[in-house]
A = this chain, B = another copy of it.
């Protein structure tokens, strides 16, 4: 049965996260319902990452199997007519049967957006944290650089996380000002529960002068959730992109400079 890969965007505000849950509105549930209705039989959807309740996506990647005879280029318009307005399918392509949206993901890009304007913007408020205070972006950038590399990120992981191996690689962590916004962008090979929101919360405290950039290595070494900053709320967080090496040549460099530069500029 052919396997299809799709790129999905969603406004996470009105979802209880990506992962299917009984009696709750989830992105996976809504996607499975739409695809199953089109196919006339139950279809399971696998996503690259389980975003939390309230977290958004511009480039979540999913796969599903179907032998529906619809031409490939019809899937996007037909799915978008079937889906509710807070989810959109951006592309659909056929992939080899061994492709797996989660297991084959090599890097992910998340962005946390902080709006520092005095008055919140009603039109973008669902996708940004409103934090009307000045931030020292230079200090935040220096702190962010300490997170790059391969570390045990226990300090930046929810105490509720059941994962045993908390070693992850952050390929890039940058803080940039874009008008009234401060954007924290993190590229990594995988993320622990709440990891980006705790990173953004710790960098926010650096930006307010409550911590110094030089404290970051000690926070990482502590392997203690209490050593890092607060978990920021979900609305500011967006999963921007999921990266795969072309599956015909899986030995490729999973996060080569050029590839990642392209990805991040999207």
| A interface residues with partner B (beta carbon < 8 Å) | 9-11, 56, 76-77, 80, 85-90, 118-125, 127
Name the contact of A80 in the complex, choosing from B11, B76, B85, B120 (C-beta under 8 A).
Answer: B120
A56 to B86, alpha carbons, bound, how many Å?
18
CB neighbours of A119 from chain B (8 A): 76, 80, 88-90
A88 to B90, alpha carbons, bound, how many Å?
32
A127 to B11, alpha carbons, bound, how many Å?
14
CB neighbours of A10 from chain B (8 A): 122
A9 engages B122 (CB within 8 Å): yes
| Majority SS at the chain A contact face | mixed
Name the contact of A85 in the complex, choosing from B76, B87, B89, B125 (C-beta under 8 A).
Answer: B125
Say how far A120's CB is from chain B's closest CB, in angstroms: 6
Say how far A122's CB is from chain B's closest CB, in angstroms: 5
Q: List 27 A-B contacts (CB under 8 A).
A: A9-B121, A9-B122, A9-B123, A10-B122, A11-B122, A11-B123, A11-B125, A56-B123, A76-B118, A76-B119, A77-B118, A80-B119, A80-B120, A85-B120, A85-B122, A85-B125, A86-B122, A86-B125, A87-B122, A88-B119, A88-B120, A88-B121, A88-B122, A89-B119, A90-B119, A123-B124, A123-B127
Q: Which residue of B lies closest to A89 (CB)?
A: B119
Q: Which residue of B lies closest to A77 (CB)?
A: B118
CB neighbours of A90 from chain B (8 A): 119
Q: Which residue of B lies closest to A57 (CB)?
A: B122
Say how far A85's CB is from chain B's closest CB, in angstroms: 5
CB neighbours of A127 from chain B (8 A): 123
A124 to B123, alpha carbons, bound, how many Å?
8
A150 to B86, alpha carbons, bound, how many Å?
41
Ranked nearest first, the 8 interchain pairs of A and B with the lowest CB-CB distance are A11-B122, A9-B122, A88-B122, A85-B125, A88-B119, A88-B120, A86-B122, A90-B119
CB neighbours of A87 from chain B (8 A): 122
CB neighbours of A123 from chain B (8 A): 9, 11, 56, 124, 127
A127 to B122, alpha carbons, bound, how many Å?
11
A124 to B11, alpha carbons, bound, how many Å?
10
